[in-house]
Amino acid sequence: MSDVVLAVDLGTGGCKAALVDPAARVVATTFAAYPTTYPAPGRHEQRPADWWAAVVRSSRELLAADAGRHRVVAVGLSGHSLAMVPVDADGTPLLDTVPIWSDTRGEDAAAAYFADADETDWYARTGNGFPRGMYTVFKAAWLRAAHPDVAARTTRILGSKDWVNARLTGVQRTDPSYASGSGAYDLATRRMLPDVLAALGLPADWWPPVVPSTGVVGRLTPDAASATGLPAGVPVVAGGVDNSCMALGAGLDRPGEAYLSLGSSNWVTVAGAEPVLDPVGRPYVFDHVLPGLYVSALSTFGGGSSLTWLAALLGREADLDALLDEAAAVPVGADGLTCVPTLAGGTVAEGGPAVRGAYLGLDLGHTHGHLARALVEGIGFSLADAARTMLAGAPADREISATGGGARGGLLLQVLADLLGRPVSRPDDAQHGAALGAAALALLGTGTWTDTAPLRSTRRAALRVDPRPDLAAAYAAPRARFDAARAATRAHAAVTAADHDDQTPNQE
């Protein structure tokens, strides 16, 4: 019987779990989905109980399939960022459904805070480049204003993986990478910002102590062991936020390394000894799960979620690969069809949370393949914009790897290679980036590894595509149409917001 660690990645769409051995090989994987509900505009919620049920199911499925061939010696978690789980003194969630990263209910609290505070200065201190209402401190301020009875019983605000860690061990801790997405974490000092918390009227002790991502926060309790099937007493490391775990799993363990994440949302990420900050483009920054590094990224929110929407709309959910094959047969530019893929809102650079997506130029000759091709090109144009900022210091011919579900097919990789002007590759473990990062933290935290060399030694490219310079001119007109369409969606969002303000009754 050989040793493995259990790596759990709490993503937006569900829980990916894997058994990973000390050679960084993924021994077995499973996936348990859970829903997101959207009860009102800007409200994106999940149930912590569903996270726990997914962790329990995943653990038991992996152990059953493994049939005793391996011994689980540690657990490491990755979790989606900016979640807000208020808990009482017993660690019980005080809300049945909680806001996840894409929820913007904190916007009113943020607007009130920045009426007296400089937002550019806040961004420079925190690196928090997502739309401000998404950050946890502003969601916590919403809780205090909208549900004072719940706030009065709240003893801690926990993130997604931190709440699961507490269920596993009974210990409430966070790590630097997750804390850096709170909206009140100083990147320079790597400490919480008491002035921000005080200005929002939030208790400092709502925020759990910060320990290293590789630190053992506790050991599996008998109750957790009974639920998951894992041995009691197994050490659980703090783990990290999904962005940083994915960066580590993608090989970003030293300054200057970069990768593309092609998941529900997409981003271009670089690791560095200093954060990449730009008050206009607003890259977002998290502490890396490795000490002394930062993870900086620019994203587009309309990625895999938009492709999933299109496939469902066309009745092609079970036929997505064939749909993308049809898209690949359509020429560059999709015969005049343009798509802005921000169906769920955008980043600051894309127009903010109020902006929405669009198809422009539709005619009776367009097919399913045209719709998919235009959407893929829209994702590519958005990521190319981000890459211009994030990859400015990297040699133009340096290969960049791509991870996530969107990397499984060749079309998006080819479009990105064409637009970035550099080779793009998909590693053979592209679907397991965050889980590999979480596994690495467990292996480091329990002393099995002394460094991250095993992650590099096992990486192999399953697919590699080269840019096609001869098509550069073919992308020029589609690019111009995309820029015009994105400007139009921004203008539409501004008009819609103004109209909403005019129709909103005065509450005073």
Cβ-in-10-Å burial (0-12, 13-18, 19+) of 476 comes to exposed
**Residue with the larger pLDDT of the pair 336 and 400:** 336
Residue 351 is predicted with a pLDDT of: 81
Residue 103 pLDDT level (bands cut at 50, 70, 90): very high
CB 413 within 8 A of CB 463: yes
Q: What is the mean pLDDT of residues 116-130?
A: 97
**Tens digits of residue pLDDT in 430-470:** 678 899 999 999 999 999 999 999 988 877 778 899 999 99
Residue 135 is predicted with a pLDDT of: 98
Q: For residue 458, give every residue at least 6 positions away whose Cβ sits within 8 Å of its Cβ, in sequence order, or none.
A: 23, 24, 25, 429
Residue 507 pLDDT level (bands cut at 50, 70, 90): very low
Q: Return contacts of 308-312, CB within 8 angstroms, 24+ apart.
A: 308/264, 309/343, 310/371, 310/372, 310/375
Q: What is the mean pLDDT of residues 200-212?
A: 98
Query: What is d(CA 462, CA 408) in angstroms, rounded to the nearest whole number?
Result: 10
**Tens digits of residue pLDDT in 285-298:** 999 999 999 999 98
How does DSSP classify residue 103?
-
- Integer Rg of the chain from CA: 22
Which of 136-145, 284-293, 346-355 is predicted least confidently?
346-355
Instruction: State the average pLDDT for the chain.
Output: 93
Residue 406 is predicted with a pLDDT of: 79
Residue 427 pLDDT level (bands cut at 50, 70, 90): confident
Q: What is the mean pLDDT of residues 110-131?
A: 97
Query: What is d(CA 96, CA 49) in angstroms, rounded to the nearest whole number?
Result: 8
Give the C-alpha distances (Å, rounded to integers) separating 258 from 1, 293, 391. Answer: 37, 13, 8
Residue 375 has pLDDT above 70, yes or no: yes
- Are β-strands 284-287 and 294-300 bridged in parallel, bridged antiparallel, or unpaired? antiparallel
Which pTM does this prediction carry? 0.85
CATH hierarchy code of domain 2-238:
3.30.420.40
Give the C-alpha distances (Å, rounded to integers) separating 205 from 22, 154, 173, 198. Answer: 37, 10, 12, 12
CB 177 within 8 A of CB 244: yes
Q: For residue 25, give every residue at least 6 positions away whose Cβ sits within 8 Å of its Cβ, in sequence order, or none.
A: 458
Residue 499 is predicted with a pLDDT of: 63
Q: Which fold has domain 251-503?
A: Nucleotidyltransferase; domain 5 (3.30.420)
Domain residue spans of the chain:
2-238, 251-503
Element (H, E) at 223: helix 222-228
**Residue with the larger pLDDT of the pair 468 and 503:** 468
Query: What is d(CA 70, CA 99) in angstroms, rounded to the nearest whole number?
Result: 37
**Residue with the larger pLDDT of the pair 416 and 457:** 416
Residue 262 is predicted with a pLDDT of: 87
Which of 36-50, 146-160, 284-298, 421-435 is predicted least confidently?
421-435
Residue 300 structure tokens? 């587009």
Q: Return contacts of 42-46, CB within 8 angstroms, 24+ apart.
A: 42/103, 42/104, 42/105, 42/107, 42/133, 42/353, 43/99, 43/103, 43/105, 44/99, 44/100, 44/101, 44/102, 44/103, 45/97, 45/98, 45/99, 45/100, 45/103, 46/83, 46/97, 46/98, 46/100
Element (H, E) at 99: strand 98-99
Residue 336 has pLDDT above 80, yes or no: yes
- The two domains 2-238 and 251-503 share their CATH topology (first three levels equal): yes
Short-list 508, 506, 497, 505, CA closest to 41: 497
Q: What is the mean pLDDT of residues 97-117?
A: 97
Residue 212 has pLDDT above 70, yes or no: yes
**Residue with the larger pLDDT of the pair 293 and 406:** 293
Which amino acid is present at 45?
Answer: E
Short-list 483, 444, 471, 505, CA closest to 74: 444
Residue 508 is predicted with a pLDDT of: 37
Which of 113-122, 332-341, 424-433 is predicted least confidently?
424-433
Residue 394 has pLDDT above 80, yes or no: no
